[in-house]
């Protein structure tokens, strides 16, 4: 599978998983913004919990890099792009949902944070995903098994015998 196809398939899986995870965490309503506007800028999901509304960018990545160490951080957007116009358009906070996927074990973890929380760490354009960083985020899933995770989404070199 080509890298671009693998990334797209993993990303599509993550966006669908995000809708379920946000609903399970008590967000209501939860809307797929890409269904409303193709390739919506930054945001993939609109979600509200209580009086708080969020525009959520979903970032799904293999937990480890192809070389083996932890894949951290996840890019939020291109440096220099101002996303804050979305806050006023939707009257909502900017947020991200980062999904770490261990393809080989068919496990995933998911973390929700506002961009204000991410910015508090001094890194505006990426989401730190180290164990130390993720304790500051709301954990929506930790090492959950999902048989729909496909081996061809791996970024590891797989030996075929």
- Range 61-85 burial, b when 16+ CB lie within 10 A, else e: bbbbeeeeeebbbbebbeeeeebee
Q: What is the pTM of this model?
A: 0.91
Count of helices and strands (H, E) across the chain: 5, 8
Q: What is the pLDDT of residue 131?
A: 92
Say yes or no to pLDDT of 97 above 70.
yes
Residue 69: pLDDT over 60: yes
Q: Longest Cα pair distance anywhere in the chain, in angstroms?
A: 55
Q: Name the residue with higher pLDDT: 115 or 125.
A: 115
Residue 161 confidence (pLDDT) above 50: no
Structure confidence at residue 159 (pLDDT): 45
In the chain, the percentage of residues whose pLDDT exceeds 70 is 93
Residue 35: predicted pLDDT: 92
Q: Is residue 73 scored above 50 in pLDDT?
A: yes
Residue 160: its pLDDT value, please? Answer: 43
Q: Which domains does the chain have, with CATH numbers?
A: 3-153 (3.40.1350.10)
């Amino acid at each position: 599978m080509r890298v671009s196809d693998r990334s797209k398939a993993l990303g599509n899986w993550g966006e669908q998983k995000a809708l379920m995870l946000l609903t399970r965490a008590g967000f209501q309503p939860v809307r797929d913004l890409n269904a409303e506007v193709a390739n919506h800028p930054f945001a993939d999901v609109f979600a509200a919990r209580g009086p708080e509304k969020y525009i959520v960018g979903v970032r799904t990545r293999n937990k480890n890099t192809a070389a083996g160490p932890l894949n951290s951080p996840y890019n939020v957007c291109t440096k220099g792009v101002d996303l804050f116009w979305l806050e006023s358009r939707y009257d909502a906070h900017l947020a991200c949902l980062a999904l770490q996927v261990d393809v080989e074990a068919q496990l995933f973890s998911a973390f929700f944070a506002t961009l204000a929380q991410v910015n508090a760490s001094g890194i505006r354009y990426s989401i730190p995903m180290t164990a130390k960083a993720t304790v500051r985020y709301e954990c929506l899933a930790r090492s959950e098994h999902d048989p729909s995770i496909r081996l061809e989404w791996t970024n590891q070199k797989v030996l075929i015998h």
